[in-house]
Amino acid sequence: MHEIGPNSRNSWRADATRVDLRRPQRPARPVTVEAQPQILTLDLASTAIVVIDMQNDFCSPDGWLASIGVDVSPARTPLPVLQRLLPALRAADVPVVWLNWGNRPDRANLPPGVLHVYDQDGTGGGLGSQLHTGARVLERDSASAEITAPLFAAPGDLHIAKYRMSGFQDTELDSVLRNLRADTLLFAGVNADQCVLATLMDAASLGYDVLMLEDAVATTSPAYCMDATVYNVRQCFGFTLTAADLQEAV
């Protein structure tokens, strides 16, 4: 029989006369890790990591935020953590999903409210504006949306462009995760109190288990924003843990 499906995790088997609707049964791979507010046991066989906005415009000294005077050094603190963690997760067959902000060049799906956040007086400098590098701010398939070095995607990683604080709005993120048969989502990236939190909240509302990796997220916002984010994730949506503890458990 032949496989029909988007990947080996979610597929039928079929030949000319029969179709077998049973999905492949993946052996459970439980790991137990220190977390807050409680110790967690999670199944790596149904887990994926979503890495949010670790891209040049947010994290690079030559990117957009740096060009408008934002100190991006806090946004770079997850880099060494993810350099260590992602290879370990890939080796454990945990899918890596890169969720980077990447607008359409014509910005046709962006309402005024999204554009206003970064261009409050309408004179430019926001989404789609041209940088000194020649790239346009947060534009898909440009240097602005590329994963920032020294991070890089590996073969088999998945890439999804987003256009809002939440990566679920107007994107295929939910469909991709369902096809991966991922119930538990690890969250990493920037900004913890903005795009990471918005995506995590939507994931929780959709029924995913949500785990934020405290040492693999960061923000250029004031420290109280991070404190509130950690509190709210633990109190209202899911759990926090460290990448270091997870990597040791894996």
For position 41, what pLDDT does the model report?
98
**Whole-angstrom distance, CA of residue 176 vs CA of residue 25:** 19
Nearest-CA neighbor of 177 among 5, 10, 42, 20? 10
**Whole-angstrom distance, CA of residue 146 vs CA of residue 131:** 15
* Average pLDDT across the chain, whole number: 95
Average pLDDT value for residue range 128-151: 88
Average pLDDT value for residue range 109-113: 88
For position 125, what pLDDT does the model report?
75
**Whole-angstrom distance, CA of residue 187 vs CA of residue 52:** 8
Least confidently predicted of 81-95, 133-147, 175-189: 133-147
For position 183, what pLDDT does the model report?
97
Q: Is the pLDDT of residue 28 over 90?
A: yes
Please state the pTM of the whole predicted model. Answer: 0.94
* Domains of the chain, start order: 27-249 (3.40.50.850)
Contact 142, 100 (CB under 8 A): no
For position 129, what pLDDT does the model report?
80
Confidence at 118, pLDDT banded by 50, 70, 90 = confident
Contact 200, 24 (CB under 8 A): no
Spell out the residues 6+ positions from residue 13 whose beta carbon is closer than 8 angstroms to its own. 1, 2, 3, 4, 19, 20, 22
Q: What is the pLDDT of residues 156-196, one digit of tens each?
A: 999 999 999 999 999 999 999 999 999 999 999 999 999 99
